[in-house]
Amino acid sequence: MVSAKVVGGIAVAVVAIGATGYGAWTLTNYRDPVSLSEFSGFPGDNSGYKGKLGEIYGEYFVSPYGYGASTDANKKSEDNKRWWEVVFEIWKRDSEATDNKLGTEFGKNSIKSAYKTSSETEGDNEKSLNKVCDAAYKKTETELASKNDYKENIWKYCSMGGKTLQTVKDQGTSGTTYTDSQIGKKNEETLASISSENNNWFWALKEKEFFYGRYGKQPIGKSLENGSAFKKLFDEGGSLSVTGGRLKGVCKTAYLKEGNDATATDAIKFCTFKKSTAAQ
């Protein structure tokens, strides 16, 4: 079932079952929302993101205030406003369900609007979705260890894909198992699970970034060392229809490798969604 709402002057299609984050957004827009990692000065020593969820997953969380205080006239703090309006409609639908799995921070009485600017003050009864997500980005993984609902809510309403990303370790025995000498095992806490359907949106974004770049930047697959399977993949290039799923396929093969050759080294760069930080 698809229902239509007018949000910010556009008709937004909200699929009643399963439409979250990136899926709903791509029904109405041609470009990605601005990620937290693109926020001006990110991660910034005084931002509250250093060593927290915001720094670790900043490439996949949506910036609460777009690009922030950028000097580029084409990069505005309100660039994600429409995104928050779309996802707010999804959250409202979810909050009205009697069997919702919303933590206290995302409960029906916790969020009152889609978006407020960074300069707008708000009381406990006037919280906006973008500011609730911003507060979540400043949490540590340890703080969320016993808050499964809160963690799921953060990924659903604050990330680009609306589903919790899973590492090889997170997937456990339901995914591919690796020997102790294979990089899939050695780096199981950071490498993205190949078999988890939750990760489909990550692979789609990573592949786009690998071949074509994002936010006006060069493709991250350029200038790789010869001898790497990732170098070969990039050089083959091709259209989106041709390259779809191929980065994931090379990662899958790389996870089985032993040793530290160029392919294994590149896998750590291109097959993960977690940024390593000194403090977690």
Q: Which residues pair with 128 in a beta bridge?
A: 113
Go through the chain and tell me how many residues it has: 280
- For the chain, what are the domain ranges? 2-158, 168-270
Residue 19 has pLDDT above 90, yes or no: no
- Report the mean per-residue pLDDT for the chain: 83
pLDDT in tens, 80-93: 999 999 999 999 99
Residue 3 to residue 212: CA distance in whole angstroms: 33
* pLDDT, greater one: 189 or 72: 189
Q: pLDDT per residue over 159-192, tens digit each?
A: 999 999 999 999 887 777 899 999 999 999 999 9
Kindly report which listed range (1-5, 21-25, 274-278) carries the lowest average pLDDT score.
Answer: 1-5
Q: How far apart are CA 178 and CA 182, in angstroms?
A: 6
Q: What pTM was computed for the model?
A: 0.84
Segments of the chain assigned E as strands: 2-7, 10-15
- Mean pLDDT across the stretch 194-213? 92
End-to-end CA distance of the chain, in Å? 41
Q: pLDDT class for 73, splitting at 50, 70, 90?
A: low
102 versus 122: the higher-pLDDT residue is 102
Residue 249 reports pLDDT greater than 90: yes
